[in-house]
Each structure stands twice: as C-alpha cells, then as structure tokens.
Amino acid sequence: MKLAFVDNLSVYGGLSRFSLLLCKSLVETEPGLTIDYYSHINNLRHAPELKEIPGIKIHVLQSTMLPGLPTRILRKLNRKFTRTEQDIENKVISEIEEKINGQYDVAYFPAAHMMKRPDLKIPMVGTLHDFNWKYFFGRQIFSLEFVEMMDKEILNWMDNGVNVCSSHDVVDEAKKLYPGAKRYPNVVHIAPVIYNADIPEARKQEILKDLKIDFPYIIFPGNFFPHKNHLNLLTAFSMLKKRQGFGEYKLLLTGMNSNQVPRGIAEKRGVQMLTKNSVPHENDVWGMGYQPNEVIDTLISKARLLVSPSIYEAICTPAMDAWHFGTPTAISDIPPFREHERVWGIRSAFFDPLDPVDIANTIENYLNQYDEAKLDGLISKENVSKHNWGTVAGNYMQNFKKAISERK
C-alpha cells in the first residue's frame, strides 16, 4: 500500500505528537507500506523527530512556507495584498490536489476536523479529533468565516468517506451537532503520545537542573485557549498555596503561548505578573512556553501531580502521558475524561472544572494521601501499557483498507 500522510495544518502539542507516533508506528508494524509525508513547514520544527523516521519520504508543502521579506512588507503596508485565511486554505488545498491525486492508494489527513475536504480521485481517511470550533468559550479562537466553512466541510467529511476519532464522546458530539449525517467516525482509541518513553534518570536531572527546577511542582500542559480553563486552575492554586504543606509548590504551565506569563504569583482573579517594578515576592507560577518532546516528557514524569482542568476536549492527552510514566493526575470530571476509566482502567482524582474550591480541595486531598495517589499512578501505568501504538496503527490500517474497498 502506498499512503499519502497529509499533515497540512500547523499544529503542536498532542496533535503534533499524534501524527509523529502514528506515522512511526505504521512504518514499523506494516510491511509493504510506503509513506510519503506531506508536511506544513512548521510541523517539522514542532516535531523534528519526523526526519529521523526511516522508511518515509518527507515533502514540505510549498504553500505553507512564508513568502519573502519584501512581499511580507508589501502585505503589511497595503491590505489588498493581504491573503485571507480562506485564500491560504485554498492555496494549500490546491497544492494537495495537484501533488497527491491519483498516485496513492489512500490519502490520510490527521487533522480533518479543521480543514476543507480536498477533491481527490483516491480514497481518503480523516481523523475528526473534536468540534472545538463549534463552540464559543468566552474569547474568539476561530473566525466566523472559519466556523461557517467547517460547518459545511465536517458534513462533507462524514458523509463521503471513512473517518476516525479517538473517543466515543466525539461520536456522541457528532450525533448531537449533526443528527442528519449519513455516517459517523469510527472510534480508534490511541495510546499515550510519548516519544521519549525511557529517558535516563541522569538526563532527566540534567534537564531539571538546566531549567532551575529544584522544587515540588504541579504541571498543566495546555495552550492558552479559553476552553483549557486556566483561570479556574489559577484561582484554585492561589487557595492551595495558603494551605499547610503547599508553600513550596509551584505551578508549571507549558504549551503554546504559556510563556506570556513567564513568572507570576497566583491570585484569586488570575496571575500577578512579576515585572521590573513589582514588589519583591517569591513567584509560584511559571509559564514555560512550548517545550521540545524530551523536555515535556521529563517534566511530566518528574511532576508531583499533573492537572488538566479543561472544560472541552476529545481525550486527555496530557493525563495519558502522565499515566504512561506513573505520574498521578487530577483532571476534569467531563465525559471524555471519564471514558479513560472505562477504556484504559486508569485511576485519577476528578474535580468540577468550574468550581475552583473543588479543584483546590481535590488537589489538596490527593497530595495529602500521596501513597494512594502514587499507587493510582502506578496502576494507571500498568493498565495503559496494555494499549500500544502498534495496535493503534493496525486499527488505522483497517480503516485505510475499508476506504479503499468502498471506493472500488
């Protein structure tokens, strides 16, 4: 089978690692499979390990590359030169249609939930990760132009081919939002998106030393989007810090744009950012920005606790990574996160993500019974280890073959 793996959107974090690990596992477990990996230029920066995977050929999509400096200056000076996001999308789709049509058995799109469905003469499979763009969480993430485009295209994906998602909750969402769809995604539960599974302890200590981390910490890997619910977590952490035994703790925030708050003090209404004129005070919130795979894997594995207060997700990839290492977790009590209990048999503390008091109380109680929390982490590690990327790759191959057979 010849597969076009089309990673055409600029992604990072869990979605970037998902594509990396799925591609790697497909190559390792499926003899006779060849992969041409069509990548957005940024994704080779976010996941440079792609270049190290033997057996795949990488092609950079030229339409995703920045134009030269003179052109960019002209576009800033004159709005008529500025491409809208629709123009950019159309150019990328046109390049995909030109380069991929006809020469592959199947084309796979790991971020189909965020893009137009190309017009190809070969079978296509897309992963519909979530419907985040369909909701408003207090701040605009996606333009109305994009929302209206995806409202049409998501039906185009679902009605006209084989698609995959990572949880039954996504299928429930699809049925709720689009009850008239002809078909819905097939569920393929993924494994933890860990690339550096076995980092030597000496290397971990070296990374922590370089980062000047010599204190107990709670970590939340999540970009600064409103559905990640940072504000309620920060309020909860400000309460926690005032309680006995938690004065030395820091909250580490990682993910895209989290370095907008490089150092700060957790307060009831957010973070007091430390600036040159701040009154001297010990900081307790570190915004560390997007971290390389080896660093984030180390930070998760050495954390006292990983938290995820999200109010909307398809799955909880940060917690899955924590369970891989046996790190205890405290996460939102929402349906997709509870699905992890049923599917993987994990153990975690759960809290109401909209109640900072409940978040603080849950974290306090869990950390004060740390032997129990650590045991939960180890049980989660054992159970999650039964689900590997080889199985995920095999399930994806079944969907690729199904798409091919339906097209004949």
Q: CB–CB of 127/109 below 8 Å? A: yes
Question: What is the pLDDT, as a whole number, of residue 215?
Answer: 97
Question: 283: buried, middle or exposed (CB in 10 Å: 19+, 13-18, 0-12)?
Answer: middle
The owner of tokens 């919130």 is 285
188 pLDDT above the threshold of 70: yes
Question: What is the pLDDT, as a whole number, of residue 72?
Answer: 45
70 pLDDT above the threshold of 70: no
Where does residue 321 fall: left (phi above 0), alpha (psi -120 to 50 degrees), or beta otherwise? alpha
Question: What is the pLDDT, as a whole number, of residue 224?
Answer: 92
Question: What is the pLDDT, as a whole number, of residue 80?
Answer: 44
Question: What is the pLDDT, as a whole number, of residue 340?
Answer: 96
Q: CB–CB of 288/221 below 8 Å? A: no
* Interatomic CA distance for residues 329 and 322, integer angstroms: 7
Strand partners, 236: none
Convert the pLDDT of each residue in 329-344 to its tens digit. Answer: 999 999 999 999 999 9
Question: What is the pLDDT, as a whole number, of residue 189?
Answer: 96
Q: How many residues in the chain?
A: 408
The domains of the chain, with CATH numbers, are 2-191+388-407 (3.40.50.2000), 201-384 (3.40.50.2000)
Convert the pLDDT of each residue in 347-383 to its tens digit. Answer: 999 999 999 999 999 999 999 999 999 999 999 999 9
Task: For residue 16, give both structure tokens.
Answer: 């970037």
Answer with the residue of higher pLDDT: 52 or 308.
Answer: 308
Instruction: Say whether 305 sits in a helix, a strand or coil.
Output: strand
Where does residue 135 fall: left (phi above 0), alpha (psi -120 to 50 degrees), or beta otherwise? beta
* Interatomic CA distance for residues 327 and 346, integer angstroms: 12
Distance of CA 84 to CAs 53, 91, 143, 145, 381, Å? Answer: 35, 11, 11, 10, 45
Task: For residue 132, give both structure tokens.
Answer: 């985040």
Question: 404: buried, middle or exposed (CB in 10 Å: 19+, 13-18, 0-12)?
Answer: middle
Question: What is the pLDDT, as a whole number, of residue 82?
Answer: 44
- Where b means 16+ CB within 10 Å and e means fewer, 72-90 reads eeeeeeeeeeeeeeeeebe
How would you classify the pairing of strands 217-221 and 250-254?
parallel
